[in-house]
Amino acid sequence: MPAPQRCLSRDQVARHCREHDFAEGRRATTVGLELEWLTLDPSGRRLRLEDAEAVIAEASPGITGGHLSLEPGGQIELSTSPFPDAALACAAAAADLLVLDQACTARGIGLVALGQDPTRAPERVVTAPRYRAMESYFDALGPAGRTMMCNTAALQINLCLGDPAQQVERWRLAHQIGPALIAAFANSPFADGAPTGWQSSRLRTWWTLDPSRSAPVPIDGDPAERWLRYALDARVMLIRVGDDDFQALRRPMSFGQWLDQGHELGFPTIDDLVYHLTTLFPPVRPKGWLELRMFDALPTPFWHVATAVAVALLDDPDTAAAAGEAVAGTAGLWLEAAQLGLGHPLLASAARQCFELAIESLERQRADTLAGVAAAYHDRWVARGRSPADDRLDAWHRDGTFWPPRASPVPYAEDLDLSAVLP
């Protein structure tokens, strides 16, 4: 909460960004996943808060200890513990998803893996003061904020930063491969009951809501310095004046301005800085590790593929070097990737090369299952210049269908090998 006088310097902010968001040598954790789903009650409506909370309570803590949480519009999110590699992270997520799916099935609740709700108006069901203030902040900017909060769902892949000597190139490569990955896994072509003209309407929504907090971080120069500048230039969304009192700032004020000039509610503290950083949503975000936030929510086993490909491209040194060359002409095509997907010829070529490199890496590592599903995904979509969004559009053209058929999002229980991921 704010202080009556200035107590935080720019040097302290810079030190925090470097020591916490780009902490050197954190290698104990490698891969963690956060998967979100849109939810439908038995009649296809948005879940009531009490129903969503009940199913989360029943399914927690899962088999491997994954954490379930509720997003503002009733989306359910599963966050795994960190694991040493992609295969273990995927196995743990699938195990905990099995428990969630069983609880949802018993109540007739559908878990839908789409990046954006195709038909329903955004409606917030979570009443927490923080979300009320967020909604107020975004409403002053336009409708995209409510849509982002209530109608979008994503896959997030968390990877370690690597050794200090690796961090600069790892940070840059995560951004450089981002557009090709967006194009290959786009899965949200609809909004408001119609095609939007975008393969990833979710990213259209995110990048419309407030560019100061959702645009990619520039990757030239020192990553920590660039992240510091991004954080200082981003608008302050909320000021917390009490545990349950969040004041939305509808008049523009960057964190740097708040730091230097203060506000009628006070000057920022280190806790206010930490909170401010959680309100920044670039497609790659440093948090003591790298958060890859560019993926639309994906059904099983496509989220396994996205995880395996991203990890292989970034974690295998030889593959990483070749991936950097493969995406050299597409590194800045964020908007083109979200709108055109693999319909953009340069992105189509980059995605094909990235998949081929990732599959070769997975085969060398003897990750046969992940290599197999990645190869099948490549053959079905990437090699043909398509993504899951194209299948959804085909269904709509054929019979007007916006929502995919309801299906279990997990393999059968007997197909899950849990021996390596049980606590």
Domain boundaries, given as residue ranges, for the chain? 10-396
What pLDDT score was predicted for residue 166?
84
Question: What b/e readout covers 189-220, taking b as 16+ CB neighbours within 10 angstroms?
Answer: bbbbeebbebbbbbbbbbbbbbeebbbbbebe
H or E stretch covering 352: helix 345-364
What pLDDT score was predicted for residue 25?
53
What pLDDT score was predicted for residue 171?
95
What pLDDT score was predicted for residue 27?
54
- C-beta of residue 127 within 8 angstroms of C-beta of residue 309: no
What pLDDT score was predicted for residue 243?
82
What pLDDT score was predicted for residue 420?
53
The domain made up of 10-396 is a member of CATH 3.20.20.100: no
Residue 285's DSSP bridge partners are: 291
Residues ≥6 apart with Cβ < 8 Å to 189: 195, 196, 198, 199, 201, 389, 390, 392, 393, 396
What pLDDT score was predicted for residue 343?
97
* Mean pLDDT in order along the chain per 10 residues (423 residues): 92 94 66 97 94 96 92 97 93 92 94 97 95 95 96 97 86 97 98 98 95 94 95 97 90 96 95 96 95 96 95 94 96 97 98 98 93 93 97 96 82 49 50
Count of C-beta atoms within a 10 Å radius of residue 356: 17
